[in-house]
Amino acid sequence: MTTFRPDPTFYPSPSLAQSAPRETLAYVVVIDPTYRTPDALAVLDLDPASPTYAREVGRLELPHTGDELHHFGWNACSAALCPTMPHPHVERRYLLVPGLRSSRIYVVDTRPDPRRPTLHKTIEPEELHARSGYSRPHTVHCGPDAVYMNALGSPSGEGPGGVFVLDHTTFEIKGPWEKDRGPQYLAYDFWWHLGHDTMLTSEWGTPNMVEDGLNPEILLAGGYGHRLHVWNLRTREHVKALDLGPEQQMVLELRPAHDPRQTYGFVGVVTSLKDLSASVWLWHLDRGEWKVRKVIEVPAEPADPSLLPPLLQGFGAVPPLITDINLSLDDRFLYVSCWGTGELRQYDVSDPFEPKLVGSVHLGGIVRRAGHPRAPEPLTGGPQMVELSRDGRRVYVTNSLYVSWDEQFYPAGIRGWAAKLDADPAGGMTLDPDFYVDFGERRAHQMRLQGGDASSDSFCYPNP
């Protein structure tokens, strides 16, 4: 298990990680929306020189049904090089794959054959409950000292949701992370500024608020999450709640600047009750005080109500629904998924306070239903989970959000797909006409690139 030299996929700083070799494989979770057959981890070939490029070349079927796999992450990454407790001679080898609905956590071994991953360990929901008090595990990040994971709530389906830690070699759950959670109750995502001992967490809803679908009553009452929480990563105490305003509903993916010297980051908001717009907000440290402000707003697009699902007919418009965002390793480009309107946007965020829209590609969408050269029919769903290669040149998207919510926004059903875009280093992006993976009735959620990607690693050493 220990190696003689550091794992070659670990890089001290984000700028060094940009020089990593091109990824050749991707892991993507595929879900059975009927919960009748087990979910799976599919392996995609990303090597353009390979005869099986853009095709599925392996699949690990999991032993249980109804897991609803969602996000997942590596056992170890560049954070292992952090000087506080360095352990660089471990391998980036295991994927920790939680079931968001079942609360079961799979540890998948990607060695010796990365195309044929195997199941290494299963943490049953009862064990997660007993050891952490949490349920519905969500985000996974490899930290300097442990694997960190968070969860939406408690076993009863209520809150609070929060963070827990796992030993990074045995994958034993060590317990809940928080020492003082202050006013935090809702959870969705978490990440950190390692150079500033700061953790950020965001808010969606408790399991009872989200599992049966988007609840219009809770939504119209502004009951979904609308805050960010700042924590002291070291003392594990709540520092500050940043309220975006109750009309800002569902504060999801957190993308802090990768450079550990920086103290800003971006978070996406799914929708505003005022006008169904979606937005991206910037948090930043201003003379010792954490602040947040809106930097991107994407308006709703008017639409013929007869083309809209029942949930939206009264509004006569398609909400953009920013459900995922991703930041390139050089902290220069922010990718924004508009899952409702079927658009992936690329912003130049060299000045994080003034993002500039520099690229846009349409795929699917509730009304637009934009197609793909390789797909025989108009696409269903829209760009949702977005992942970037470490050099920032390739962008991969999948189209499913969360099964019970998929049905509400795409009632005719979603056919799972993955697509790829090529990003111009100077800005702008184009669809790769040859890359289209059809998952059929299965739905694809998060994708992880072999060796790391723009949302898998965190760094302790700043860029030069």
Partner 1 sequence: MNDPLAWSALALLGALHGLNPAMGWLFAVALGLQERRRAAVGRALWPIALGHALSVALVVALVILAGAVLDGGVLRLVGAGALLAFGAYKLLRPNTHPRWVGMRVGFRDLTLWSFLMSTAHGAGLMLVPVALRFSAGGGAAHAGHGEHLPAGMAASSTLAGLAAVGVHTLSMFAVMAAVALAVYQFVGLTVLRRAWVNLDQVWAVALMAAGAVALVWR
Dmax (CA) of the chain: 63
16 binds partner 1 (CB under 8 A): yes
Which of 55, 179, 234, 293 touches partner 1 (CB under 8 A)?
Answer: 234
> C-beta of 76: minimal distance to partner 1 in Å?
11
Look up residue 393 and give its two tokens.
Answer: 């040149």
Look up residue 38 and give its two tokens.
Answer: 């087990």
135 binds partner 1 (CB under 8 A): no
Burial (CB count <10 Å: 0-12, 13-18, 19+), residue 157: middle
Task: Enumerate the H helices of 18-140 as residue ranges.
Answer: 125-132
Residue 137 three-state SS: strand
196 binds partner 1 (CB under 8 A): yes
8 binds partner 1 (CB under 8 A): yes
Which of 64, 261, 291, 293 touches partner 1 (CB under 8 A)?
Answer: 261
Which of the ranges 142-150, 213-221, 308-316, 417-425 carries the binding residues for partner 1, by CB under 8 A? 142-150
276 vs 460 by CB, closer to partner 1: 460
The C-alpha atoms of residue 40 and residue 191 are separated, in whole angstroms, by 26
The C-alpha atoms of residue 430 and residue 202 are separated, in whole angstroms, by 31
98 binds partner 1 (CB under 8 A): no
Burial (CB count <10 Å: 0-12, 13-18, 19+), residue 239: middle
197 binds partner 1 (CB under 8 A): yes
112 binds partner 1 (CB under 8 A): no
291 binds partner 1 (CB under 8 A): no
Which of the ranges 4-12, 389-397, 432-440, 448-456 carries the binding residues for partner 1, by CB under 8 A? 4-12
The C-alpha atoms of residue 260 and residue 256 are separated, in whole angstroms, by 9
> C-beta of 90: minimal distance to partner 1 in Å?
7
Look up residue 330 and give its two tokens.
Answer: 């050089």
Tell me the backbone φ, ψ of residue 216, rounded to 5 degrees: -60, -35
4 binds partner 1 (CB under 8 A): yes
The C-alpha atoms of residue 263 and residue 285 are separated, in whole angstroms, by 6
69 binds partner 1 (CB under 8 A): no
Which of 51, 83, 376, 440 touches partner 1 (CB under 8 A)?
Answer: 83
> Which secondary-structure segment (H or E) carries 45?
strand 38-45
Tell me which residues touch partner 1 (CB under 8 A).
2-6, 8, 10-13, 16, 81-90, 143-146, 169, 194-197, 233-234, 260-261, 460-462, 464
